Amino acid sequence: MMRKLRPTQVVESVHEIDLAHLQSLSKRALIFDLDNTLCRRGTKTPDSDVKRYISQVQAAGFRIGILTNRRRNAEDPIVSDLREYLPVVSAARKPSREGYVQILRLMSACPEETVMIGDKRWTDIWGANRMGIHSIRVRTYPRFPSP
């Protein structure tokens, strides 16, 4: 596999992310992809399980942002809902650097302390790699509640 598409880590779903390990690597900020990472692709309605998961991760001490290629003009309730309490960059055109720069600025985070979590090599992982951001590829969206 091409180096640029190789994630730093691979996990089954967000439930398997080892937050303590990331803290030991001095990671403080997590950028999440939305579709097939935090929820099933195309989910439009706000999801209380996703919200609960996000607050758990925040309680562990991480800043969180959402970076999605969903189009702004198709903004749906789940995106507007997340936007109320998190930095969200939509229509991000991953793997373009621009969206990453934007979300890092909104999160007041630098690449070295940040982790990108997403399901797609050609967008999430490639984009993170070219920014020098630790990347975690999830194989699937989470089934809540956590196992």
Min dist CB 6 to Mg ion, Å, is 17
Q: How far is the CB of 76 from Mg ion (least distance, A)?
A: 15
Which one of residues 5, 17, 35, 96 is an interface residue with Mg ion (CB under 5 A)?
35
Query: Residues touching Mg ion: how many (CB under 5 A)?
Result: 4
| Smallest distance from Mg ion to CB 119, Å | 4
- In the region spanning residues 47 to 66, those forming contacts with Mg ion, defined by CB under 5 A, are none
Q: Which of 119, 129, 131, 141 binds Mg ion (CB under 5 A)?
A: 119
CB contact at 8 A, 69 and 96: no
**Ramachandran region, residue 26 (left: φ > 0; alpha: ψ -120 to 50; beta: rest):** left
Could you tell me if 119 and 138 are in contact, meaning their C-beta atoms sit under 8 angstroms apart? Answer: yes
Residue of 30, 31, 36, 109 that binds Mg ion (CB under 5 A): 36
33 binds Mg ion (CB under 5 A): yes
**Nearer to Mg ion among residue 33 and residue 113 (C-beta):** 33
Distances in Å between the Cα of 11 and the Cα atoms of 17, 42, 51, 119, 140 are 7, 21, 20, 10, 9
With contacts defined by CB under 5 A, name the span among 6-14, 18-26, 29-37, 84-92 that binds Mg ion: 29-37
Residue tagged 């779903």 (tokens): 13
Please work out, in degrees rounded to the nearest 5, the angle formed at the alpha carbon of residue 132 by the alpha carbons of 131 and 135. Answer: 100
- Among the listed residues 22, 46, 48, the one whose alpha carbon sits nearest the alpha carbon of residue 145: 48
Sites of contact with Mg ion (CB under 5 A) = 33, 35-36, 119
